[in-house]
Amino acid sequence: MTIKDIFTTMDYGPALESKSEALAWLAQHDNLVGHFINGKWTAARDDFATSNPATGEKLAGVTKGTPADIAAAVAAARKAQPAWAKSGHKRARVLYAIARLMQKHARLLAVMETLDNGKPIREARDIDTPLAIRHFYHHAGFAQLMQDELPDREALGVCGQIIPWNFPLLMLAWKIAPALAMGNTVVLKPAEYTPLTAMVFADICMQAGVPAGVVNIVMGDGETGAALVTADVDKIAFTGSTEVGRKIRQATAGTGKALSLELGGKSPYIVFDDADMDSAVEGLVDAIWFNQGQVCCAGSRLLVQEGIADRFYAKLKARMDGLRIGDPLDKCIDIGAIVDPVQLAQITAMVSGNREGETYQTKAPEGCFYPPTLITGLSPASHLMQEEIFGPVLVATTFRTPVEAVEIANNTRYGLAASVWSENINLALDIAPKLAAGIVWVNGTNMMDAAAGFGGIRESGFGREGGWEGLAGYTRPKTSAKPVKRIAPFGSAGGTATDPLDRTAKLYIGGKQARPDGGYSHAVFNPRGKLLGHVAEANRKDLRNAVEAMNAAKGWTKSTGHLRAQILYYIAENLSARGDELAKRIKDLTGKSGTDEVEQTIHALFTFAAWADKYDGKVHGVPIRGVALAMHEAVGNIAVFCEDASPLLGLVTPMAAAISMGNRVTLVASEPFPLIVAEIYQILETSDLPGGVVNILTGDHADLAGHAAKHHDIDAVWSFSGTDISAVIEKGSASNLKRTWVNNGTSIAPTARDWLAAATEVKNIWIPYGE
Ligand code: NAI
């Protein structure tokens, strides 16, 4: 290219980043990737290749981890864990050393990432690597602060972590930094396409003085990942596809392993007619063409207000024409290579299979590249509007009103992120809370930081990574759990009942007492075998009715904390007025004095009434010209299987915790002592609680648990039951990846904050603020 050419075209010339240092580093390791176990490299094999997707050249041979490798890594992690958990300050120093060494080797990490993944060097250098480093700095701080700020929490133990190929180093940092900070040790499995930066990281761990066994890295594919899931670990933290997330939910069901899932998305990018259009177009470049669109939170679904759609699409196409696509090592490149020909084939098949709307594409070079693509005129239900493409493909539709924008935005099984573009702050802040997403960016997109929790709702998974909220996923309460025993109901001592009146306690659905759909009931006896009455046996249809009632009570979620507090106090007052009666009832049912239980129940109601308007969110200081508002939102519809032993307290405590935060709840009463419910109905009926906010069923826990776990309109299932239903609930929950909180056969004594955390979801709303 001559100077004249340059002046004529004003085109960028190539500005290639050198790959020689990265290749030399690989050569020093014989171009082979082994496992890093107990502070040492294992003998490596060339089981499969990792290649540069931009050129197809093989970079290294990779060892596929076997179950024996996983077991060795887990054993090393287990051995190292107690010592590692001892001193937060020591951990802080090690994490700080990792951050400093990553900074020192930042260029090597960035080039290695680009070679292995195909992402533009500009992104690997300016985004992935600095963000990964920031994660270690930030979490060095959390390690230092743990003892003072989280005195009631401790490490989980050994964490198995499985990461995808789209942000190999960044995802590694998101997983390893918080786990280590909280005193856990880890076994990490990188994705098969992109093991190389994890290898550099292992080298950095050795230099940083990470004790042997604290960080273990086992290379391999899905089979290796599956072996890690079933190994003797205390937690699985997974980022990847929803399909694999579902499998992992099923595989860990009933094992007591903690689980966090960061899965797919189809995040809406909403542009209102008063938006700064040029900024919104530029934002889209970062939303969907960042990392070739291989981003779980990519703004992949464009919703434009009808009046500006044509102008907006025209500007967008002009911008697309200017995107430079090619050699990822070229510093002038906007769009690099797709991670692997398999992924390229998947994107190509999805786009070419589409028969709707209009497709606009720019050009891509030969090889593993896919051109920036815009498909307009799709209906909200179109396949491409619903399914994750995971490529540089933007699908678009229009809307007329803000209400319609929210409706289309939420018309998805996912709920990871959303962007709202408007110059009207009232509009933007009205819309943000209405979007079903874990993260909302106002006039921005794809912003992430170690100080703000990242994660979704619905089928985008559960758990948060980053910020104070992320620490919960790597810690547990310091209480020791005791086994919970099932309590068998008392049987009949024989003879006939003297009272001929029908005393069958009904169900409580939608604020009314309802007969069970099946028409069945069963007798309840006192410890001496005397008949106390009958209770209804709820079936699947009754549960469905309760869910309908919860759906009809959504207004509760919008009510103020002040109102919810008043109602909880009122319930406490009404319950207190009937305290003697309730205590007697408990004595009749259980044979034990009920006086303390009644007192504790009133106490619990006061506690959650108190919290109803005080469980504040946080304002995260993120390094942008803005803040991230970490808001506590209600989870939605919660089904609870109540504990056996304390029929009143075990029913009212989860109820109070759930509704104090704005959830609607369906409680399945204590299995051996269900007859308490008749008294509760009357108290609820006189306490101004809107119908449907609380529904109460009686019946067989084992029968109802599977139905509750699989119901798509239930957002969370909790179980404190003495009946062994934890596995059924966790397995069934994989259907829509609802949240679960189950006792796994142990008796748990949650603190108020544990209840509140389970009853809420954190939504981070990023808003521009100040300068
Ligand atoms: P994937 O979900 O299969 O792989 C992610 C990680 O899980 C890898 O480390 C893999 O080895 C491991 N893995 C696979 N099967 C496993 C199993 N049964 N048990 C335990 N670990 C297992 O994602 P993949 O195949 O790389 O990509 C397929 C699609 O998934 C993509 O086209 C994209 O749509 C989506 N995806 C979404 C990501 C996200 O962050 N939301 C990240 C990667 C992929």
Shortest-distance atom of ligand 1 to CA 460: 41
State whether the beta carbon of 272 lies less than 6 angstroms from ligand 1: no
Q: Which of 3.40.50.920, 3.40.50.300, 3.40.50.720, 3.40.309.10 would CATH assign to domain 268-445?
A: 3.40.309.10
- Residue closest via CA to ligand 1's atom 29 equals 241
221 Cα: distance to centroid of ligand 1 (angstroms)? 9
Instruction: Using the predicted structure, report yes or no on whether residue 500 has a pLDDT greater than 60.
Output: no
- Whether 507-617+630-766 and 268-445 are alike in CATH topology: the answer is no
Q: What percent of the chain has pLDDT over 90?
A: 95
- Return the best residue to mutate from 62, 119, 221, 241 for the ligand 1 pocket (most ligand atoms within 8 A of CB): 241
Residue-wise pLDDT for 661-689, tens only, equals 999 999 999 999 999 999 999 999 999 99
678 lines ligand 1 (CB under 6 A): no
Tokens 């002009």 found at: 318
Which residue is closest in CA terms to ligand 1's atom 15?
222
Strand order in the sheet with 664-668: 512-514, 507-509, 694-697, 664-668, 637-641, 716-719, 739-742
- For residue 166 and ligand 1, the question of a CB distance below 6 A is answered with yes
Q: What average pLDDT does the segment 200-227 reach?
A: 98
154 strand-pairing partners:
476
Any ligand 1 atom below 6 A from CB of 65: no
Domain ranges for the chain, please list them.
20-262+470-476, 268-445, 507-617+630-766
pLDDT tens, residue by residue, 132-157 = 999 999 999 999 999 999 999 999 99
Across the range 747-765, mean pLDDT stands at: 95
State in Å, rounded, how far the first CA of the chain is from the last one: 42
Q: State the DSSP string of 509-526.
A: ETTEEE--TT--EEEEE-
Say if ligand 1 is within 6 A of residue 459 CB: no
Q: Among 244, 250, 462, which residue has the most ligand 1 atoms within 8 Å of its CB, making it the best to mutate? A: 244
Could you tell me which residues are beta bridge partners of residue 61?
32, 49
For residue 34, report the distance from its CA to the centre of ligand 1, in Å: 21
For residues 206-231, give the mean pLDDT. Answer: 98
409 lines ligand 1 (CB under 6 A): no
Distance 384 CA to ligand 1 centre (A): 20
Contact in structure between 571 and 689 (CB atoms under 8 Å): yes
Q: Is 263 in the pocket of ligand 1 (CB under 6 A)?
A: yes
CA distances from 567 to 28, 508, 707 (A): 69, 18, 30
Tell me, using a 6 A CB cutoff, whether residue 455 lines ligand 1: no
- Distance from C-alpha of 510 to C-alpha of 512, rounded to nearest angstrom: 6
User: Residue 219 phi/psi, 5° resolution?
Assistant: -80, 160
Q: How far is CA 271 from CA 275, 399, 420, in A?
A: 6, 10, 6
Pull the structure tokens for residue 467: 């910020």
Q: What is the pLDDT of residue 395?
A: 98
Residue 226 has pLDDT above 60, yes or no: yes
Q: For residue range 297-346, what is the model confidence (pLDDT) as tens digits? A: 999 999 999 999 999 999 999 999 999 999 999 999 999 999 999 999 99
Return the SS3 of 303.
strand
Q: What's the CA-to-centroid distance between 459 and ligand 1, angstroms?
A: 15
- pLDDT for the residue numbered 201: 98
Q: What is the reported pTM?
A: 0.97
Q: Which atom of ligand 1 is nearest to the CA of 265?
A: 41
What residues contact 352, with CB distance under 8 A and at least 6 apart? none
Q: What angle do CA 690, 692, 698 make, to 5 degrees?
A: 130
What is the whole-number distance in angstroms between the Cα of residue 344 and the centre of ligand 1?
A: 15
Band (pLDDT 50/70/90 cuts) for residue 499 is low
pLDDT in tens, 682-741: 999 999 999 999 999 999 999 999 999 999 999 999 999 999 999 999 999 999 999 999
**Distance of CA 555 from the midpoint of ligand 1 (Å):** 38
Residue-wise pLDDT tens digits, 176-186 = 999 999 999 99
For 84-139, the pLDDT digits (tens) are 999 999 999 999 999 999 999 999 999 999 999 999 999 999 999 999 999 999 99
Nearest Cα residue to atom 13 of ligand 1: 222
Q: Report how far ligand 1's centroid is from the alpha carbon of 222 (Å).
A: 8
Spatial separation of the C-alpha atoms in residues 234 and 515, rounded to whole Å = 44
Q: Is 247 in the pocket of ligand 1 (CB under 6 A)?
A: yes
* Least confident piece of the model among 22-31, 133-142, 434-443, 490-499: 490-499
Looking at residue 10, its pLDDT comes to 79
Ligand 1 site-directed mutation target among 128, 162, 235, 266, most atoms within 8 Å of CB: 162
* Check: complex ipTM more than 0.90: yes
CA nearest ligand 1 atom 34, residue: 390
Q: Indicate if the pLDDT at residue 497 is higher than 70.
A: no
CB 296 near ligand 1, within 6 Å: yes
pLDDT value of residue 631: 97
How confident is the model over 472-490, as a mean pLDDT?
91
Ligand 1: nearest atom to the Cα of 229: 20
CB-based burial of residue 694 (10 Å sphere; 0-12 exposed, 13-18 middle, 19+ buried)? buried
**483-519: b or e for each residue (b if 16 or more CB lie within 10 Å)?**
ebeebeebeeeeeeeeeeeeebbbbbbbbebbebbee
Q: Is the separation of the CB atoms in 259 and 411 below 8 Å?
A: no
- Between 625 and 302, whose confidence is greater? 302
| CATH entry, 20-262+470-476, from 3.40.50.11740, 1.10.260.40, 3.40.605.10, 3.40.30.10 | 3.40.605.10
Q: Report helix, strand or coil for 630.
A: strand
Catalytic residues: 262
Q: pLDDT tens digits for 10-21? A: 777 889 999 999
Tell me, using a 6 A CB cutoff, whether residue 191 lines ligand 1. yes
Ligand 1, atom 28: closest residue by C-alpha: 241
Q: Which helix (H) or strand (E) holds 228?
A: helix 222-229
* CATH superfamily entry for domain 507-617+630-766: Aldehyde Dehydrogenase; Chain A, domain 1 (3.40.605.10)
Taking residues 529-554, what's their average pLDDT?
A: 97
Residue with token string 């550099």: 200
| pLDDT of 230 | 98
Ligand 1 centre to CA of 321 (Å) is: 31
